[in-house]
Amino acid sequence: GENVEQHPSTLSVQEGDSAVIKCTYSDSASNYFPWYKQELGKRPQLIIDIRSNVGEKKDQRIAVTLNKTAKHFSLHITETQPEDSAVYFCAASQEGLIYNQGGKLIFGQGTELSVKP
């Protein structure tokens, strides 16, 4: 089955610097890659996602890149702020229109990002 590896497990940056979190996946059939942000004791919230027909997607200070050949994707946060401090999870799934195919998200182990003022 699918396996998702996420690195680093912890990341500390100064406010204003960039942060990059990387994930690799094993199943070449995976075609949907969301990123979630989870603040302490709260629910994971979707911050950005990308599909396999796109190489890059950007939303203000957040961007995600996908390399299908190498089977890895990355989250880039620019101009980090203290409120970006949280645990970030990548995930992968196989989306499809056929019943019993797709919908199962396999998550990475998470990256605890700390942004120091």
Interacting residues toward other proteins by CB under 8 A: 1, 6, 9, 34, 42-46, 49, 51, 89, 95-97, 99-110
* Least distance in angstroms from the C-beta of 72 to other proteins: 17
Beta bridge partners of 25: 4
* Least distance in angstroms from the C-beta of 15 to other proteins: 26
* Least distance in angstroms from the C-beta of 86 to other proteins: 14
**Nearest by Cα to 7 from 112, 111, 115, 117:** 111
Backbone dihedral angles phi then psi of residue 39, each to the nearest 5 degrees: -85, 160
Q: Is 65 exposed, middle or buried (0-12, 13-18, 19+ CB in 10 A)?
A: middle
Nearer CB in complex with other proteins: 27/49 = 49
Nearer CB in complex with other proteins: 63/105 = 105
